[in-house]
């Protein structure tokens, strides 16, 4: 739920394929300077995913080695882009900040979605993700399971959950996180419910 209501100013790293706008090549492989992801304008969505919450995905991404990962709510300096790229994965990213709205935009080529979407538009986001018919792992609050929406959306498609014992401390939340989060997945995990290991930094 990484917001862009008050996003930080960043200086693009000097790297081949990266222009002065910070956009650069769509397939990333350059030095990152920030640990923040940006997207939803809603105040409740203005938090940033730490790297330690991305790393548990790596072991489950091995079967997707060589595939293209789309991070649809991220810029080049997001921890999703940084961690996945550092692990040798092919990553493309997009963000409404650069005119690429998840609800209307789709990269020319991609195989799996990985990201932390805005928590304020849960149903619309998962409807869009499910419509592609491809694997995904999207970080979402566990309290969403109390709503009817996930039960309706995943009625025909088996929901997979990568859960954690510890809460994720989102940067920018000022210690106000009162909920736990999981990755809501489709065709990504070896089982329906997997308890993941998350090592906080």
Please determine, for residue 35, whether its predicted confidence score (pLDDT) is greater than 80: no
CATH code, domain carrying 80? 3.40.50.150
Domain-located, residue 58: yes
Show the tokens assigned to 90.
């092919």
For residue 29, the model assigns a pLDDT of 35
The answer to whether 34 touches 49, Cβ cutoff 8 Å, is: no
For residue 158, the model assigns a pLDDT of 93
Average pLDDT, the chain: 80
Instruction: Give how far Cα 151 sits from Cα of 109, 130, 154, 182, Å.
Output: 30, 13, 6, 16
Domain-located, residue 31: no
Domain-located, residue 177: yes
Domain-located, residue 64: yes
For residue 175, the model assigns a pLDDT of 53
Pairing of strands 68-71, 112-115: parallel
Nearest CA-CA partner of 198 in 139, 150, 145: 139
Domain-located, residue 112: yes
- Give percent above pLDDT 70 in the chain: 73
Domain limits for position 118: 43-196
Range from 43-57, 85-99, 100-114, 166-180 carrying the lowest mean pLDDT:
166-180
For residue 149, the model assigns a pLDDT of 94
Domain-located, residue 124: yes
Domain-located, residue 29: no
Domain-located, residue 36: no
Q: How many domains would you assign to the chain?
A: 1
The answer to whether 35 touches 7, Cβ cutoff 8 Å, is: no
pLDDT in tens, 108-139: 999 999 999 988 889 999 999 999 999 999 99
- Give percent above pLDDT 90 in the chain: 64
Please determine, for residue 13, whether its predicted confidence score (pLDDT) is greater than 90: no
Lateral strand order in the sheet of 193-196: 90-93, 68-71, 112-115, 136-141, 181-186, 160-164, 193-196
């Amino acid at each position: 739920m990484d917001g862009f209501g008050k996003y930080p100013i960043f200086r693009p790293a000097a790297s081949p394929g990266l222009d002065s706008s910070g956009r650069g090549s769509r397939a990333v492989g350059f030095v990152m300077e920030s640990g923040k992801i940006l997207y939803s304008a809603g105040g409740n969505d203005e938090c940033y995913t730490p790297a330690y919450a991305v790393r548990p995905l790596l072991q489950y991404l091995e079967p997707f080695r060589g595939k293209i990962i789309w991070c649809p709510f991220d810029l080049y300096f997001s921890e999703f882009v940084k961690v996945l790229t550092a692990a040798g994965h092919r990553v493309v990213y997009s963000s409404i900040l650069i005119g690429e709205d998840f609800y209307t935009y789709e990269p020319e080529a991609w195989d799996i979605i990985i990201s932390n979407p805005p928590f304020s538009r849960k149903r619309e986001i998962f409807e869009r993700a499910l419509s592609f018919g491809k694997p995904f792992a999207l970080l979402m609050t566990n309290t969403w399971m109390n709503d009817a929406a996930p039960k309706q959306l995943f009625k025909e498609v088996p929901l997979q959950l990568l859960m954690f014992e510890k809460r994720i401390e989102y940067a920018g939340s000022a210690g106000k996180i009162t909920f736990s989060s999981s990755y809501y997945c489709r065709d990504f995990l070896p089982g329906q419910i997997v308890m993941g290991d998350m090592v906080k930094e």
